[in-house]
Structure 1
Amino acid sequence: MYELLAGVYDRLMADVNYDDWVDFTEGVFSRYGLQPVTVLDLACGTGAITERLLKRGYRVVGVDLSPDMLAVCADRHEEYLERGQLLLLNQDMRRLEYPRQVEAIVCFLDGLNYLASVEDLTQTLSRVAKTLAPGGVLVADLHTEHKLSTVLGNETFTEIREDLAYIWSNYYSPVTRMVEMDLLFFVARPDGLYERFEESHYQVWFSRDEIESAVAAAGLTLEGFYGDLDGNAPADTSDRIYIVARKGSE
């Protein structure tokens, strides 16, 4: 997963305003009187959120399952790595291990939807809880049922650009609540030819009750459940939900 997509991922996501996510996160910090020195970026990918956090002065621990995504992240943030402001870890979020507790963990851009079951979600949140310092927060987002079943659903999307083209075919199962995304790319090479590659990705949606139960089972308190980055309540047509979970003070 992401083995070949890593090289074109940032081009595909160029229109995303990552600063909005970080602004939301800093609003959470302010609400709870937190001044984190280190933020752990779970499922950091190529490091778009990581970059915004670094530029705002945080030390960042980036964690991702894909070595290819981490390699891109390392290349784009070599200076931060060299001066010790950034640490990258190749880990499965279900088995997150970091020797120090941190005051803040973020997991953005639907990283949690790649977990296949409520059990996996609970296990991941339990590792998050262990890694958080007392009073620390998790800020995350997830794709909703509406996004996976209707927006992505059984739809096919195509796009042709100067340097790449893709066909994105989706297959949604209401039984498993999983959408399979089959991606076919043609990427321009320096010699004028195009390289063809394919990848498949799978996402599952979780209900509010399941998320609340997983958060509680992990020993965290769900402090916020929003439908957008402005803090509004989720609607039936919300594409994402944003959660804030906090570890109790000891």
Structure 2
Amino acid sequence: MYRSFAAYYDRLMADVDYDSWINFAEQAFALAPKRPQQILDLACGTGAITKRLLDRGYDVVGVDLSPEMLALSADCNQSYLEASRLLLLAQDMRRLELPFTVDAVVSFLDSLNYLESYKELAQVFERISRVLAEGGIFVADLHTEHKLSTMVGNDVFYEVSDDMAYLWLNHYDAEQRAVEMELTFFVARENGLYERFEEFHRQQCFSQEEIEKALTEAGLDIIGIYGDLKGGSLEENSERYFVVAQKK
């Protein structure tokens, strides 16, 4: 997962307003006993969120399962690595482990939907609680079932450009409450031919009740679960859960 795709991830995410996500996180950080200094960016990917946190003066630990994603993050954050303000670690979030605590944890852009069961969600929240300092803030988002079942559902997405084309097929399994995604890319090479590669992804639905239960069992106080980045209430057609919690 995210092997060959890693090099094209940012291109597909070009319309994301990352600064709005950081603004939401900073509003949550203001609830901490003191301004966070070191932040864990869990499932940090290519480093788009990481870079913006660093630019705003925070030190960051970036954790991701994909070495390819981490390599891209290192490339775009090289000066921060050299200044020892960024640490990048290849870890599975289900086995997250740090030799120190952090002041806040963020996990953005539906990374938690890649967990395959409630058991794994609860396991990750417990790991997050372990690495958070007392009073530390946890901020995350997850796709809602509405988003995965109706807006992603069984739809097909595609793009064709001069140097790349992709086809994104989705299948929603109502019994499993999960979307299976098949991505096929065709990338132009210098010899005029196209290289084809495929990736398979799966995203799991979690209900608000499941999220709240997992947070509580992990010792995280729920500050709020919102329907948008402005702190609006959840609606039936909300596309994401925006979660803010605090270590007891």
Specify the TM-score bucket, using the shorter chain as the normaliser: over 0.9
> Which residue of 2 is the match for residue 166 of structure 1?
166
> Which residue of 2 is the match for residue 113 of structure 1?
113
Residue type of the partner of 1:15? D
SS in 2 for 1:113: helix
Deviation at 1:178, TM superposition (A): 0.8
Taking the aligned partners of 2:57 and 2:40, their CA distance within structure 1 comes to 13
> Which residue of 2 is the match for residue 12 of structure 1?
12
Aligned residues: 248
Q: How does 1:185-196 map to 2 (within 5 A)?
A: 185-196=185-196
Q: Note the alpha carbon deviations across 1:5-50, whole angstroms, 9 max, x for none.
A: 0011111111111010000111111233431111100000001100
Dislocated runs of 4+, deviation >6 Å = none
Deviation at 1:83, TM superposition (A): 1.4
Q: How does 1:212-227 map to 2 (within 5 A)?
A: 212-227=212-227
Matched, 1:205 2:205: yes
Q: Note the alpha carbon deviations across 1:122-181, whole angstroms, 9 max, x for none.
A: 000000000000000100000000111001101111111222111100011011011001
SS in 2 for 1:31: coil
> Which residue of 2 is the match for residue 182 of structure 1?
182
Taking the aligned partners of 1:32 and 1:45, their CA distance within structure 2 comes to 26
Taking the aligned partners of 1:164 and 1:97, their CA distance within structure 2 comes to 38
Deviation at 1:82, TM superposition (A): 1.4
Residue type of the partner of 1:160? V
> Which residue of 1 is the match for residue 156 of structure 2?
156
Residue type of the partner of 1:18? Y
Taking the aligned partners of 2:75 and 2:192, their CA distance within structure 1 comes to 25
Residue type of the partner of 1:170? N
Query: 2:141 touches 2:242 (CA, 8 Å); kept in 1?
Result: yes
Taking the aligned partners of 1:70 and 1:54, their CA distance within structure 2 comes to 16
- Identity across matched positions, percent: 58
SS in 2 for 1:243: strand
CA RMSD of aligned residues (A): 1.0
Query: 2:33 touches 2:135 (CA, 8 Å); kept in 1?
Result: no
Residue type of the partner of 2:176? T
Q: TM-score, normalised by structure 1?
A: 0.97
Residue type of the partner of 1:134? E
Residue type of the partner of 1:206? F
Deviation at 1:222, TM superposition (A): 1.0
Matched, 1:230 2:230: yes
Deviation at 1:191, TM superposition (A): 3.3
Q: Note the alpha carbon deviations across 1:54-77, whole angstroms, 9 max, x for none.
A: 111111000001111111111221
Query: 2:143 touches 2:240 (CA, 8 Å); kept in 1?
Result: yes
> Which residue of 2 is the match for residue 76 of structure 1?
76
Residue type of the partner of 1:52? R
Structure 1 unpaired stretches of 5+: none
Taking the aligned partners of 1:32 and 1:90, their CA distance within structure 2 comes to 28
Taking the aligned partners of 2:31 and 2:132, their CA distance within structure 1 comes to 17
Taking the aligned partners of 1:7 and 1:191, their CA distance within structure 2 comes to 20
Deviation at 1:103, TM superposition (A): 1.0
